Chain A
Amino acid sequence: EAQVTQNPRYLITVTGKKLTVTCSQNMNHEYMSWYRQDPGLGLRQIYYSMNVEVTDKGDVPEGYKVSRKEKRNFPLILESPSPNQTSLYFCASSLIPSGVQDTQYFGPGTRLTVL
């Protein structure tokens, strides 16, 4: 089954404790992206990757890191989480990075709470 998977689905952590949210897709998509969803703000892009070893900042990259060492994986790293990073996070992927018509498919979401 074609899908985007994220782990963990739920995470409660404390300020300053480094964490990684994994994202993996099995559709051989070149483009992958991370979004955060907050009440009243909709979805905002954090980082994206056009292909292996090619990443760039989205609209709200502060406090996050990403890496793209393999085509299928795009982990989101929070080196020192803070309470304002409490949010619902989505990973997405699409086939063609430069295709304006391309549809992004989303993972199930990771609900992160930083105490």
Chain B
Amino acid sequence: AQKVTQAQTEISVVEKEDVTLDCVYETRDTTYYLFWYKQPPSGELVFLIRRNSFDEQNEISGRYSWNFQKSTSSFNFTITASQVVDSAVYFCALRGLAYSGAGSYQLTFGKGTKLSVIP
């Protein structure tokens, strides 16, 4: 079975600080995809990024960056110069070849990290 662990339940930072959200995953698959979603206070789930297991290049998108390390099964998410609008719950998710039935690839979510950015 596959598993995603987000050990940080809640994090608080002061605006403009950098913050890293940790994600550790477990899977027996050699091919898998990792995702990050953002859930702002309004409640919707916003897709942020997808990475495949064969591409360990780090990715940067504006103030967001992602560090994928296969050796430690981690896919950490860093927000640079945090802003109040970054306050949200962030979910890491894994999709591998573990079938949940009828050929569907199971998407497993971590329990989320609540980030509060204080002005």
Which chain A residues have a beta carbon within 8 Å of chain B's beta carbons?
31, 33, 40-45, 48, 50, 54, 56-59, 88, 90, 92, 97-109, 111
Instruction: List A contacts of B33 (CB < 8 A).
Output: 100-101
Please, how many angstroms separate the alpha-carbon atoms of A64 and B52 in the complex?
Answer: 33
Among B32, B35, B103, point to the contact of A103 (Cβ < 8 A).
Answer: B35
Q: Could you name 25 residue pairs across A and B whose Cβ atoms are closer than 8 Å?
A: A31-B104, A41-B111, A42-B112, A43-B109, A48-B100, A48-B104, A50-B103, A56-B101, A57-B101, A59-B100, A98-B103, A99-B105, A100-B31, A100-B96, A100-B97, A101-B50, A101-B95, A102-B95, A103-B35, A103-B50, A104-B47, A105-B47, A106-B44, A106-B46, A108-B43
Select one of A99, A100, A102 contacting B32, CB under 8 A.
A100
B interface residues, how many (CB within 8 angstroms): 28
Known: A90-B45, A111-B43. 7 other contacts (CB 8 A): A42-B110, A59-B100, A98-B105, A99-B105, A100-B33, A100-B105, A109-B43
